[in-house]
Amino acid sequence: MTEKKVWTLKSVAKELGVSNATVSNAFNRPDQLSAKKRDEILASCQKLGYSGPNKAAQSLRKGLFNIVALVLPDSVEYMITDPVASDFVKGVSSVLEKSKVNLLLFSGVSDNINAVADFVDGFICYGSPRNSALIEQLKNTPKKVVTADFDIDRKASVGINNEQAAFEIASLAIKSPEDDVAILGLRLLDSDLTCRVYDLPQIHAQSSISHQRLHGYQKAIEQFGVNLRNDRVWNIPQSSHHFAQIAVREALHSMPRPNVLLCMSDVIALAAMKEINALGLKIPDDIRVVGFDGIGEALRATPTLTTVHQNSAEKGIKAAELFIERATNSATIPYHIEHGESC
């Protein structure tokens, strides 16, 4: 069996009796040739089975790949099922596709962004990665970096005012100093366990949207003069029904039972509402519930969920625009309160 010849630009030019530049121009600079000459070169290349100069080599020479790595906070498998993350990815994609830039999804539990750094133009990082080592790598990479929902002092970031939004939503749920409040937090700890949080680690508020939201809840709790019991804050490792259900059941069987649930995502809040209904309790008469995110399911729930609506698709669009424009500024996306029937 005859081995198929591997053609290069140089060998093709020799075969056709033209210069290397002529073959290169046929593929990359058609204005440098007559239409007839270019058509002849391309037709001959097709017969030889030559598809053009090596794109990878060209990209390495130019230092431009038209690929952006989107660093997710958690595994790709988990994040593509999360409705908030999915909307963000859609927003990013809508901008990059118009600019003919490809998107590479990169897991936030991976070890090293340097595994792809040499083949991408930069990084859009959505949320603080589960593997904290990636944060230092993102700080130090010479490539362009845009962050969303957290800041690493790279001068380009996008997000909402999580602390203020959390304060506003908690202020709607809390009615008096006699309320018994429970906080169903999301990734307050670097742990895969659903558990009560008694002592929070000292984490800079800007590094985690969960801690920003917690600060907002605490401000509202203090303003209303509520005594937050030291066993009424939960860590939920993922915004999923399974993990939320564990925390919700613990909270609802605590004595005295909380009558206000401040949930750091709509998925958590919806799990809470399902468990409350299963116990035969009434929302909001017995227990008031608020969420965070504004996903479609929250608006279709019975009763409808009072929540913070953040436009995740718009956030993704803005993050991609900051990257394309090579901007060095931060951008704040507006949010609004969806006034449902759950509080």
Q: Whole-angstrom Cα distance, residue 70 to residue 146?
A: 10
- Paired strand residues for 145: 123
pLDDT value at residue 63: 53
Select 162-310+334-338's CATH number: 3.10.20.30, 3.40.50.2300, 3.40.640.10, 3.30.565.10: 3.40.50.2300
Residue 290 belongs to what H/E stretch? strand 288-290
Instruction: Tell me whether residue 196 is exposed, middle or buried, using C-beta atoms within 10 angstroms of its C-beta: 0 to 12, 13 to 18, 19 or more.
Output: middle
pLDDT confidence of residue 33: 87
Q: Which two tokens stand for residue 243?
A: 């993990």
Yes or no: say if 115 and 133 are a contact pair by the CB < 8 Å rule. Answer: no
- Topology of the domain comprising 63-159: Rossmann fold (3.40.50)
DSSP code at position 2: P
End-to-end CA distance of the chain: 76
Give the up-direction half-sphere exposure of residue 100: CA atoms within 13 A in the CB hemisphere. Answer: 2
Q: Where in the chain is the domain with CATH 3.40.50.2300?
A: 63-159, 162-310+334-338
Of 29, 24, 30, the closest CA to residue 10 belongs to: 24
Distance, CA of 20 to CA of 27 (rounded, Å):
11
Residues of the chain with pLDDT below 70 are 1-4, 54-64, 201-207
- The size of the chain, in residues, is 343
Residues of the chain within CATH 1.10.260.40 domain(s) are 9-53
CB 332 within 8 A of CB 161: yes
For 213, list phi and psi in degrees, rounded to 5: -65, -40
* CA gap 182, 241 in Å, rounded: 18
Tell me the β-bridge partners of 148: 126, 158
- 9-53: CATH homologous superfamily? lambda repressor-like DNA-binding domains (1.10.260.40)
Residue 97 and residue 47: Cα distance in Å, rounded?
Answer: 32
The predicted pLDDT at position 202 comes to 59
| Structure confidence at residue 64 (pLDDT) | 65
307 φ/ψ sector (left φ>0, alpha ψ -120 to 50, else beta): beta
Instruction: Please give the distance of CA 323 from its chain centroid, rounded to a whole number.
Output: 15
CB 287 within 8 A of CB 258: yes
The two three-digit tokens of residue 192, written as one number: 């895969």
